[in-house]
Structure 1
Amino acid sequence: MRHLPIIAAACALALAGAAHAAVYRLGTLEVVDPWSRPAAANGNGGGFMTITNRGAAADTLVAVETAAARRTEVHRSSTAGGVMKMERQDAGVTIPAGKSLAFAPGGYHVMFLGLTQPTRLGDRLPATLVFKSGAKLKVEFQVAAAAPGAAPAKAPAADAHQHH
């Protein structure tokens, strides 16, 4: 019984380690929790993440390279007048000095066009983020149903939908 607190502490540390965010760094650039939803082969997928620029000058994400898709594009979704549109960001996306920029559903995102194979929960899509500064940061987009750390969707209560 004397070892029980030690075992409990070891278990807590193991669980805490599993909950850590995926973080990729190169120089002053940091990418946290790149993820993508499941998609069919030859279909399209979306890539999401948070990019932080800890440098003194802005940098621009100009391309994403991967063998997992025939082509990649950086897009921005927006809604105006109740109509949602998606626009390619041909000039790239600038990450201001000392700031973070979220790539998330409904906003900036990477499009994986013509996936070479299906992506399933738990898969990883290797990619290289290419910046105007010349930095090339290798990351892996974790295939998941929702953003890492997002609260799981609640199932409706058994009696939530009753007919009287």
Structure 2
Amino acid sequence: MRFNFCLAFFLLTVFCSSALAENFTKGDITVESPWVQKSDTGEKRAEGFALIHNGGFNADRLVSITSDISDHVVIHETIKQYGKVKMQKLKEPLTIEPNGYLELKPGDYHFMFFNCQDELRDGEFVPAVLHFEKNGDVKINFAIEIKDDKPDNP
């Protein structure tokens, strides 16, 4: 039990990088500190991240995501294969175990927003709806964070 608490505390501190990010709860599901960043490929895409907690006694599945800012949004997985990194759309919903966490983070599972219609501005928000199998729709706002292109070491 202590390990779960420590793990949850660690994950929360990782995902609380934005002071503007909020938590969103419906039923047993809490979406913690969702944030989005513009893709560094130069295309009109963005990547979204969050920590999702299922506080219930039954597993639930994250089925899909929708947002008015994008033509379509999919749940992606980053895969390393043959020395290369690629992203692919998930074929099956992601399961969140009872009292478990699902972490969507850079380099792993994430939301991919395609053909974003508006310019993403630091400090603003992207509204979206996460669709869960058992807990239904959870309306959230992703805090927009713009990458700092400056290197860490001058």
TM-score by length of 2: 0.77
Partner of 1:97: 98
Superposition deviation, residue 79 in structure 1? 1.6
Task: State whether structure 2 residue 74 is matched by structure 1 residue 73.
Answer: yes
Task: State whether structure 2 residue 28 is matched by structure 1 residue 53.
Answer: no
Aligned-partner Cα distance in 2 for 1:101–1:91: 15
Q: Give, as a single letter, the amino acid of the residue that structure 2 aligns with 1:25.
A: T
Partner of 2:36: 36
Equivalent pairs: percent with the same residue? 28
Structure 1 gaps of 5+ residues are 1-17, 147-152, 157-164
Asked whether the equivalents of residues 21 and 35 of structure 2 are also in contact (C-alpha less than 8 Å), the reply is no
Pairwise mapping of residues 4-43 of structure 1 onto structure 2 (< 5 A)?
A: 19=19, 22-38=22-38, 43=44
Partner of 2:84: 83
Asked whether the equivalents of residues 28 and 135 of structure 2 are also in contact (C-alpha less than 8 Å), the reply is no
Q: Give, as a single letter, the amino acid of the residue that structure 1 aligns with 2:98.
A: A
Rg comparison, structure with higher value: 1
Partner of 2:112: 111
The number of residue pairs the alignment matches comes to 134
Aligned-partner Cα distance in 1 for 2:19–2:38: 21
Partner of 2:139: 138
Q: 1:82 to 1:132 in 2, by over 3 A?
A: same
Partner SS, residue 37 of structure 1 = strand
Q: Give, as a single letter, the amino acid of the residue that structure 2 aligns with 1:47.
A: G
Pairwise mapping of residues 123-162 of structure 1 onto structure 2 (< 5 A)?
A: 123-145=124-146, 154=152, 156=154
Partner SS, residue 38 of structure 2 = coil
The runs of 4+ residues in structure 1 deviating greater than 6 Å are: none
Structure 2 gaps of 5+ residues are 1-17
Asked whether the equivalents of residues 38 and 121 of structure 1 are also in contact (C-alpha less than 8 Å), the reply is no
Asked whether the equivalents of residues 38 and 118 of structure 1 are also in contact (C-alpha less than 8 Å), the reply is no
Asked whether the equivalents of residues 79 and 85 of structure 1 are also in contact (C-alpha less than 8 Å), the reply is yes
Aligned-partner Cα distance in 2 for 1:155–1:22: 31
